[in-house]
């Protein structure tokens, strides 16, 4: 004998799958499809954060403009050229240290 509710009432009382789908403000995050969510990326940044990130650039601009006003355009251009030359000379692939010749050749050929 079946219980009083029966099989038909069990199917009727079950929740449809469409009602379990996430939607609205309390949407769940699907880890298998989207991966872990990073809350920090979704938060608005503080107004001073952009200023803090660009601090060194704004300091350099201010120093170069002061230098240009005091010593003329040539001093600013000379310093900028020296900074760019240092960036070229600090290339790690152009190092002066001698490495293992076979490893260096394999690296240049793209085998490593």
The string of DSSP letters for 23-42 reads -STTPPP-HHHH----HHHH
- pLDDT of 21 reads 52
Residue pLDDT, tens place only, 11-55 = 555 555 554 455 556 666 666 777 777 777 777 778 888 889 999
Distance of alpha carbon 102 from alpha carbon 111, whole angstroms:
11
Distance of alpha carbon 104 from alpha carbon 111, whole angstroms:
10
Domain positions in the chain = 60-90
Note the pTM of the prediction, 2 decimals: 0.41
Residue pLDDT, tens place only, 76-96 = 899 888 888 776 666 767 767
Mean pLDDT of the chain: 75
């Amino acid at each position: 004998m079946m219980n009083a509710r029966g099989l038909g009432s069990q199917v009727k009382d079950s929740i449809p799958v469409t009602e379990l789908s996430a939607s609205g403000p309390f949407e769940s995050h699907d880890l298998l499809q989207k991966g872990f969510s990073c809350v920090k990326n979704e938060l608005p940044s503080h107004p001073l954060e952009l200023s803090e990130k660009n601090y060194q650039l704004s300091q350099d601009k201010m120093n170069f403009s002061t230098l240009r006003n005091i010593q003329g355009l040539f001093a600013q251009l000379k310093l900028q050229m020296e900074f760019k030359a240092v960036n070229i000379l600090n290339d790690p692939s152009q190092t002066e240290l001698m490495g293992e010749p076979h490893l260096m050749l394999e690296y240049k050929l793209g085998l490593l």
